[in-house]
C-alpha cells in the first residue's frame, strides 16, 4: 500500500516553486507456522530506491538487494509482520510568467 502525505515544505527559486511531500510504502506479511516445531524464518524484503524504514518490528541484516529479517515462529502460531518505509518526493511548477489573473 502506498500513500502520499500533505506538502510539508515549499521552496521557490529560479522561476520554479517546489512542493515537498512524503510518500509512505506499507508492506504487510502474514505468516503461519502450521508445524508443531519452532521455526526460524528469513524474510527477504526488497530494497526500494530512496525509501528508508520509519517502522520495523526488528532490525534487519542488509544484503545487496534485500533487507533480511530473522523471525522466530512459535509452533502453530500466526504472525503479521508490518514494514513502513518513507521517501521524500517533490512536484515543481514553472512560475516565471504567472500573473495575478492566472
Q: For 67-93, write each residue's pLDDT tens digit.
A: 999 999 999 999 999 999 999 999 998
What is d(CA 62, CA 83) in angstroms, rounded to the nearest whole number? 15
Contacts of 96 (CB under 8 A, 6+ apart): 15
Q: How does pLDDT run across 31-47, given as a tens digit for each residue?
A: 999 999 999 999 999 99
Mean pLDDT taken over the chain: 92
Task: DSSP for 69-101, please give it.
Answer: EEEEE-TT-EEEEEEEEEEEEEEEEE-TT--TT
Share of the chain above pLDDT 70, in %: 93
Q: Specify the pTM.
A: 0.77
Question: The C-alpha cell of 93 is what?
Answer: 511548477
The residue ranges of every structural domain in the chain are 2-94
- At 3 the pLDDT is 84
Over 90: is that where the pLDDT of 95 sits? Answer: no
Amino acid at each position: 500500500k502506498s500513500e502520499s502525505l500533505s506538502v510539508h515544505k515549499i521552496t521557490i527559486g529560479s522561476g520554479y516553486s517546489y512542493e515537498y511531500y512524503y510518500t509512505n510504502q506499507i508492506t504487510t506479511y502474514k505468516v503461519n507456522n502450521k508445524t508443531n516445531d519452532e521455526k526460524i524464518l528469513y524474510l527477504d524484503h526488497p530494497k526500494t530506491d530512496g525509501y528508508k524504514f520509519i517502522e520495523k518490528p526488528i532490525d534487519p541484516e542488509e544484503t545487496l538487494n534485500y533487507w533480511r529479517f530473522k523471525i522466530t515462529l512459535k509452533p502453530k502460531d500466526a504472525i503479521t509482520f508490518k514494514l513502513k518505509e518513507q521517501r521524500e518526493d517533490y512536484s515543481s511548477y514553472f512560475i516565471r510568467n504567472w500573473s495575478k489573473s492566472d
